[in-house]
Amino acid sequence: MSKFNEVHQAGTSLWFDFIRRDLLEDGVLADLVAEGIRGVTSNPSIFEKAIAESTEYDDDIRQTLGKNPDCSVNDLYESFAIEDIRSAADTLRGVYDESDAADGFVSLEVSPLLASDTAATVEEARRLWAAVGRPNVLIKVPATDEGVPAIETLISEGINVNVTLIFSLAHYEAIARAYIRGLEQAEDPSRIASVASFFVSRVDTDTDNALTQIGSDAALQLRGKAGIANSKQAYRLYEDLFGAENFGHLNGRPQRLLWASTGTKNAEYSDVLYVEELIGPNTVNTVPPHTLDAFRDHGEVRGATITKAWSEADAVIAGLAEVGVDFDAITADLQVKGVDSFAAAFEGLMSSLTEKRGLVNAG
């Protein structure tokens, strides 16, 4: 049995946090699926690297502009992104069918430039959902204040949603309750899928910076612990929100927690920390390529680690306040920075495509 399948047996589905045309055409994604990868996620930063920072799509740009020289850069981008998402969804369709629509998904994000506009986010999500035309697609919507009502509307309409940029328990509870309200309004909630992408390593990065600035022994001992502790508290809240008392009246699926930002950013920490410590029932971990390779090589599966040491997690979060860290402010700021980062990546992609379009049209 592959290590990826061992993780799945312990309750966590591993998804691949990367997409690019050559992975689809060369059979790399199909090989990963055969090894036990059960989904794919994308975001504006990933597409910027794939399309803008390589020559992988240059022939497609030439062909598209040859047919329509006035094609907008956004339409140019979407023609490639939608084609890749469809191809990945088709590769994963067997997982989707075999798992009874629990896994086998690929995610496509609405424009991050719409993160503060509820109505525009809903319209964009509807359009992308229809354009891709695959049941095993999740439309990514940020967990901003404006994103929460959009999530409720989309779920009520039967559109699968991956809620992204969740950093705090407050963010998580708001979108989980929006999902439940959406299911209550849906015509058939039984086949609607959603995941809540809860970010991990970025929490440690910013919290560690605050702890280092404080510099006391008590503060320094808390470094590298906030991300896991925050995630364990989120999982405990998940069990409450989707338990029989709050969710039993619905003929729907619980919105699974998806651990995002699971590549280790601090070289002093284990490069598989955010995989090994976040394994547990009905969860997803979306893993970047270098972390996936590291886990395949030396990662360990030690059962359902997410359900262990909850009291220690509570002590870490309480300890942050005791040493003077405003953890709520850090997680709120992380969401703002996350939206800004994705928006910058999207604008960089549009700028690069504008340049490439100009070069092609100029011959």
Q: How many residues does the chain have?
A: 363
Output the 3-class SS for the chain: CCHHHHHHHCCEEEEECCCCHHHHHCCHHHHHHHHCCCEECCCHHHHHHHHHCCCCCHHHHHHHHHHCCCCCHHHHHHHHHHHHHHHHHHHHHHHHHHCCCCCCEEEEECCHHHCCCHHHHHHHHHHHHHHHCCCCEEEEEECCCCHHHHHHHHHHCCCCEEEEEECCHHHHHHHHHHHHHHHHHCCCHHHCCEEEEEECHHHHHHHHHHHHHHCCHHHHCCCCCHHHHHHHHHHHHHHHHCCHHHHCCCCCCCCEEEEECCCCCCCCCCCCHHHHCCCCCCEEEEECHHHHHHHHHHCCCCCCHHHCCHHHHHHHHHHHHHHCCCHHHHHHHHHHHHHHHHHHHHHHHHHHHHHHHHHHHCC
Active site residue 49: no
Q: How many alpha carbons lie under 13 Å from residue 221 in its C-beta half-sphere?
A: 8
Say if residue 123 is exposed, middle or buried (CB neighbours under 10 Å; 0-12, 13-18, 19+): middle
CA 134 to chain centre: 19
Q: With beta carbons less than 8 A apart as the criterion, state whether 105 and 138 touch.
A: yes
Catalytic residue selected from 3, 140, 225, 232: 140
Close Cβ partners of 53 (under 8 Å, ≥ 6 residues apart)? 352
Choose among 205, 263, 255: nearest CA to 230: 205
Residues serving a catalytic function are 140
